[in-house]
Structure 1
Amino acid sequence: MSKTQKSGQERRYCPRAKRIMSIEYRLVTTKRASADKNWHLSITQDMSCNGLTFYSEQELKKDEILDVNVIMSGILEIYKGQCKVVRVERKNTGANFLTAITFEKKVSKAPKKETEPKKKVAKKI
């Protein structure tokens, strides 16, 4: 459900778009004593520039931190990093939960670019 005004205009800074992609996730930080910290596979429901929603079999709690990998078509890595759980809704079937997360710390695979090119120094003889 998106936040819309009476005019039907989207109020979000980053509107959601329906995107069904593969997601791998695991719990990193929790206050629960006995929590499953294994990797799990699922699919996303929608995505924005700030976060996404996905289906989970386990009930995650608000403010828990997850390691997340979002992959499109099994080959293209969309996002890899840590996310924070902001909302969890039990679906009508009761078999799974719709979990909303925000992107927190992205893990970059790209090499760092140099700010200035190195200058060649000519040696004097």
Structure 2
Amino acid sequence: MVAVVAVEVSLIVGAKLWERPRRKAEREQVMLFNVATALTMTIGVSVFYLAVFLLALAAAFLLLDGHSFQQLSDQSWSIGKIVESAWMTASLATLGGAVGAGLEEDDITRAAAYTRESDEG
């Protein structure tokens, strides 16, 4: 969860996606907009986190055998250890994504968050 929240905060704060009301009458609309932004980011980042986790899990099962795993980690091979390894890999990769998101240009992030692709070709 820490990794997912770190990417969300990095994207929202870094690209200035969090809005502030300019007038008192806009307060509810801006609050609703901010909730929608946070929820959208939560869903998007969580889906990508799950995808990275599943890819890391598949790679671990395909590439690691019991002997290699024991040599690398000094622990015996088990499904729990493989899942734990994939979880750690996905979390570290997601935290790396937070750092990368902070380096992204604001205009690119805002365009991705606010533009809608049209059906016109």
TM-score by length of 1: 0.20
TM-score by length of 2: 0.20
Identify the structure with the greater helix proportion.
2
Identify the structure with the greater strand proportion.
1
